[in-house]
Structure 1
Amino acid sequence: MLRIFLTHTPDSLPLLFPPNARAKLQEQCELVINPTGKVLAGAELARAAAGCDLVIADRQTPVDRAFFDAAPDVLAVMRCAVDISTIDVDAATANGVLVTRSIPTFATSVSELALGFMIDGARGISHSVAAYRSGKLPALGMGQQLAGKTLGICGFGVIGRQLATLGQALGMTVVITDPAPGSLPDGIGNVAFDVLLGMADFVVCLAPSIPETAGMFNARAFAAMKSDAMFINLARGELVDEDALIQALDAGQIACAAMDVGSAHDQRPPSRLATRNDVIATPHIGGQTPQASEGQAMHVASQVLKIAKNEIPDNAVNADAATRLHARISSSNPNSRSTT
């Protein structure tokens, strides 16, 4: 029976690895829940996971070289997310440990949050709510309707495609920028980044976090946007030069911003932006719906059950280098070959 260590703290466990997924694993595996109540790392994480075959890592837990060097029995580290930037894959590979990722079950959840941001920014909903709750009478201002506006999506992956569908359903013109967008739905054009910035009333950052996209939203990018445009970041904080964003807001180069991610702890928006009147901020909740969270956790459970059957699961990052798991598979049946 496989023994599995869940790195999640008590606060994050029910949100990020819900009961149904845990129950699925407990049918065939032994679960060990992080007993410390805190985020673990390095050798401390290795000590907590001692005797476990697999580690399922939440988004706050860094799984670094110090962990891999101190965890000789771990077969695989499994991220319950698509993003594996918190895992040192090179160190895992050097130690023969499999790394896996989950699937993007959060596309609808994140795209709906983007839509909420746009409506809030266009109609000033948060401002009115805050005024009423503080005992004040909100000012009557002129809002904007989304129909007829241009939605610019930077990064046309699963979330971008879902958001584009929502935008078109609302009567928006949708343009995207992506170096490899795949097939485009009718009515959607792929344009250069600078062109999109000058066209869009709502600019939504959904680009992947890779070295080439770091800081792509900088002073030059914000200067290219319309002065009444809204900037929305639902990707990663490192894609945005936050100092440049503050300067753009202060100078009136853009009207407002919304963000679910940023440079603060747990990839949340920093307070210097989140507390501004011209910023709508949420604490990294894009994928925090039962459907999205349970979908990813259940996918990880299915990966674990494949390993239990001595198979290499889908969405493995370094399958060929997973020598520990391959050795386990070979020893269980010397005449068989690993299944990928």
Structure 2
Amino acid sequence: MSASAHKPVLLVTSSDLASQAVEMLESFDLVYAGKNPDEGTLVALCEQHQPVAMIVRFGKIPARVMDASKKLRVISKHGAGIDSIDTAAAAERGILVRAAAGANAAAVAEHAWAMIFACAKSLVQLNGRMHDGHWDKSTHKSLELQGKTLGLVGFGAIGQRTAAVGLALGMRVMVFDPFVSNAPEGVEVASLDEVLSQSEVISLHCPLTSDNRNLINRETISRMRDGVIIVNTARGGLVDEEAVIEAIRAGKIRAAGLDSFHTEPLTGEHHFTGVPNLILTPHVGGGTTDAYVNMGTAAARNVLDALKQ
């Protein structure tokens, strides 16, 4: 879509945006970068259209992309995680960075629980066995979650929803979050080491920072309970992928569910191919119809509010 001369341009780093968000942005010319745009495409579009704002769904936004538009004032993430945006570079240039915090919380928490249940009940494996003509009733034993400990790393909107389900299931719920000193009744605030070493199920719900990269690694896995379940619906950089593969093959990790990865997209043959007891989804934890609308409208609102400043 080409921009007209009388409206400021807003660049959307995807091929679409919820219609509700588009209506909110009627005072802008919207330029869509297409599905999974690379850095070169984004630079070229910024040079051509000089957007005042960006809504970031896919792709990374380094300094080179920002510098391609002299008019850029705000970068609004279509979601909660802003690790794909060079926030330090944005701050140096006086460009505001905003996230749609909480807009996809329900969707991601539900996805985390879908993975936890699938890991605990061996749903993927049993389904495959049934389709292959087997009947494992006399030999299979799954994991009952009642009475087990759920450890959450991160206690924002997603972590809080995940904790509520754990409590409803009769689980002990422990959380580590350096920015949280108290929690709702029934939820224990603990150290990271306590959460990792005492939990039968560990679910990650924190942003990726320089301090927690590869938080799940060989050393931290060694301190976990034997047969632990690990689920990551946050950021791929939180998990040392080779360490998880080794621990699954060794039986230290009972099962794992991963929705995000160091390298995305993860396609074709890759190091996870053929690893047992490992459930993979293509970073779609927040990919529900409702969340798509919520994230789009929140991102649009953040643009409008930022440009008023």
Give the TM-score, by structure 1 length. Answer: 0.80
Give the ranges of 4+ consecutive aligned residues of structure 1 lying more than 4 Å apart after TM superposition: 266-270
* Contact 2:35–2:58, Cα closer than 8 Å, also in 1: no
Does 67-76 or 165-174 show the bigger shift?
67-76
Seen in structure 2, the aligned counterparts of structure 1 residues 270 and 166 have a Cα distance that, compared at 3 Å, is: farther
Q: Does 1:127 align with 2:131?
A: no
Cα pair distance change 1:79/1:178, threshold 3 Å: closer
How many residue pairs get aligned? The number is 300
Deviations 1:184-207 (A, max 9, x none): 111221222222223211111223
Aligned equivalent of 2:4: none
- The answer to whether the 8 Å contact 1:148/1:172 transfers is yes
> In the alignment, what sits opposite 2:38?
40
Residue by residue over 1:42-77, the C-alpha shift from the partner in whole angstroms, topping out at 9 and shown as x without a partner, is 5x4233233343343434322222222222233332
Mapped contact 2:80–2:103 kept (Cα < 8 A): no
Q: Is the 8 A contact 2:12 2:57 kept in 1?
A: no
Q: Structure 1 CA distance, aligned partners of 2:83 and 2:196? A: 28
CA drift of 1:30 comes to 2.1
Aligned counterparts of 2:69 and 2:203: Cα–Cα separation in 1: 41
After TM superposition, the score normalised by the length of structure 2 is 0.88
% of aligned pairs identical? 26
Match of residue 68, structure 2, among 67, 70, 73:
70
Query: Following superposition of structure 1 onto structure 2, how do residues 1-340 of structure 1 map, counting pairs within 5 Å?
Result: 1-8=7-14, 10=15, 13=16, 17-26=17-26, 28-34=27-33, 39-42=37-40, 44-49=41-46, 50-133=48-131, 135-140=132-137, 141-266=140-265, 271-273=270-272, 275-306=274-305, 311-312=308-309
User: Are the counterparts in 2 of residues 206 and 234 from structure 1 also a CA contact under 8 Å?
Assistant: yes
Q: How far is 1:37 from its partner?
A: 5.4
Distance verdict in 2 for CA 1:229–1:93, change over 3 Å: closer
- The answer to whether the 8 A contact 1:233-1:261 is kept is yes
1:58 and 1:80 in contact (8 A); partners too: yes
1:90, 1:192 → 2: CA distance?
A: 29
Structure 2: runs of 5 or more not aligned: 1-6
| Structure 2 SS opposite 1:280 | strand
How far 1:93 moved relative to its partner? 3.5
Contact 2:75 2:96 survives alignment (8 Å): yes
Structure 1 residues 259 and 171: alpha-carbon distance in aligned structure 2, compared to 1, 3 A threshold? same
Structure 1: gaps of 5 or more residues? 313-340
CA displacement 1:14-48 (0-9 Å, x = unmatched): xxx2222223323x3222222x6551325x42332
**Pair member with larger Rg:** 1
Distance in 1, matches of 2:281 and 2:135, equals 22
